């Protein structure tokens, strides 16, 4: 009897082929903040290292539109067309909507007709989580091109009268294109970790199913970021050191082999603590939080783009990117940088611009076709699978509210299961 031997697939490496960023034009300095809250430039700089941040002041600047702009740049640098993408991941704590996913909005804006798309929520670690998932999709052979985006409009969930949080955050987006290759390099190792027991240390309490929006939650500011700064600081300084050492070892390298560290840009004192713990020189750490503040999931890709523009990264360099955030979560990755791309010619930029105009036209045409189809042909009436089944009972608003009213158990806890799942009523015996 013959033996069937499974064919071994060639290892695929996920290389960073393109990168791009977008930050809003409006700059809010520490001096600006001192006019609305009790603070000062000296107080903020000494505790955080932040001097200014970018704020999405225009209604046209949203998580999706900033993601789109960063993605356009990344695709252009990579020389990859939107239709070549197989997957789009947007890491964000401030999505466009609860649903649909912001990634789907970006997919439509790009005209990436062959791509799947979803959002990922892991706080400030989100981009690193998304990068790991994109790299693994390529390594498995499932994808050849993955667009990974980190984007935030944190200014819209920050209480601008709370000096403990409003001085920290800013808005922006960064993106990379991962491309599969047989050439060794690219993403060499990743690390993902979480500790949900610390979830309350960095949280937006209301707005989800646990505490839906009400007049009271709005009035008491439950939809703003709440943070235990002291505990988050302790957590961050510990995991930055541990995660960096682990991910470097997993890549088969030593700390001395690392050419540049790109940490999450949350607080300069946290970065300095990591420098001391790792016993590495400060000039090996890229820092730009003084100009952008903490942009959460966008901070690492924005810093990566600026490090490339500043000439801090050369072909063959080993980079370590490490982040931490709400969840609590933390994540890290080692990347071997590839060959730089040549400048994008003017004709290519023009062609890309026309491509996105066409994507917008195509999207509007699809929406119009759906509306016309509904007007001309209507919507099919729902039918039961069993032809002999009775037609569903018409539900009135009063009955709907009565059925949905919470019932209680003997212990007094709310119980909201459907009526069909509850025990049937017990019939009283009838006299003969």
Indicate which residue of 104, 166, 267, 294 is catalytic.
Answer: 294
Instruction: Indicate the DSSP class of residue 60.
Output: T
Of the candidates 40, 338, 405, 342, the residue with the CA atom closest to the CA atom of residue 176: 338
Alpha carbon distance 49, 19 (integer Å):
26
15 is catalytic: no
Q: Are the CB atoms for 198 and 328 separated by under 8 Å?
A: yes
Indicate which residue of 124, 145, 166, 305 is catalytic.
Answer: 124
Indicate which residue of 104, 264, 267, 305 is catalytic.
Answer: 264
Alpha carbon distance 6, 19 (integer Å):
37
* Residues in CB range of 124: below 8 A, 6 or more apart: 93, 264, 266, 294, 296, 297, 299, 323, 324, 325, 326, 329
Structure tokens at 366: 């699809």
390 is catalytic: no
- Beta pairing partners, 335: 187, 319
294 is catalytic: yes
Q: Which residue has the tokens 């009436």?
A: 381
In Å, what is the CA distance from 383 to each residue of 33, 284, 377? 60, 65, 17
| Catalytic positions | 124, 264, 294
């Amino acid at each position: 009897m013959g033996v069937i031997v499974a064919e071994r697939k060639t290892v695929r490496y996920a290389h960073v082929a393109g990168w791009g960023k977008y930050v809003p034009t409006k700059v809010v300095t520490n001096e600006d903040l001192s006019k609305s809250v009790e603070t000062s430039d000296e107080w903020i700089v000494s505790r955080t290292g932040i001097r200014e941040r970018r704020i999405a002041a225009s209604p046209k600047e949203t998580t999706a539109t900033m993601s789109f702009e960063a993605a356009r740049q990344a695709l252009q640098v990579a020389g990859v067309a939107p239709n070549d993408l197989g997957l789009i991941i947007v890491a964000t704590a401030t999505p466009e909507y609860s649903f649909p996913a912001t990634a789907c909005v970006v997919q439509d804006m790009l005209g990436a007709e062959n791509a799947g798309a979803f959002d990922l929520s892991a706080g400030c670690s989100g981009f690193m989580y998304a990068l790991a998932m994109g790299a693994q999709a390529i390594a498995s052979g499932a994808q050849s091109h993955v667009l990974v985006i980190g984007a935030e409009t944190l200014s819209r969930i920050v209480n601008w009268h709370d000096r403990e949080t409003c001085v920290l955050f800013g808005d922006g987006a960064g993106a990379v294109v991962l491309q599969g290759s047989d050439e060794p390099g690219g993403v060499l190792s990743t690390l993902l970790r979480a500790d949900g027991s610390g979830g309350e240390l960095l949280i937006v309490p209301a707005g989800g199913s646990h505490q839906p929006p009400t007049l009271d939650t709005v009035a008491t500011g439950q939809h703003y970021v709440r943070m235990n700064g002291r505990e988050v600081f302790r957590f961050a300084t510990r995991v930055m050191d541990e995660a960096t050492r682990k991910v470097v070892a997993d890549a088969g390298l030593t700390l001395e082999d690392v050419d540049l560290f790109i940490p999450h840009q949350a607080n300069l004192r946290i970065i300095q603590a990591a420098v001391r713990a790792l016993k590495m020189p400060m000039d090996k750490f890229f820092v730009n939080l003084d100009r952008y503040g903490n942009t959460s999931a966008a901070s690492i890709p924005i810093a990566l783009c600026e490090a490339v523009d500043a000439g801090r990264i050369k072909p063959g360099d080993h980079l370590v990117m490490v982040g931490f955030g709400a969840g609590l979560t933390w994540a890290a990755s080692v990347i071997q940088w590839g060959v730089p791309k040549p400048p994008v010619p003017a004709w290519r930029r023009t062609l890309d611009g026309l491509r996105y105009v066409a994507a917008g036209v195509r999207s509007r045409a699809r929406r119009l076709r759906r509306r016309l189809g509904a007007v001309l042909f209507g919507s099919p009436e729902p039918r039961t699978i069993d032809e002999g089944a009775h037609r569903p009972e018409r539900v009135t608003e009063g009955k709907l509210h009565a059925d949905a009213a919470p019932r209680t158990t003997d212990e007094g806890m709310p119980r909201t299961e459907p009526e069909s799942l509850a025990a049937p009523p017990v019939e009283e015996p009838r006299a003969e």
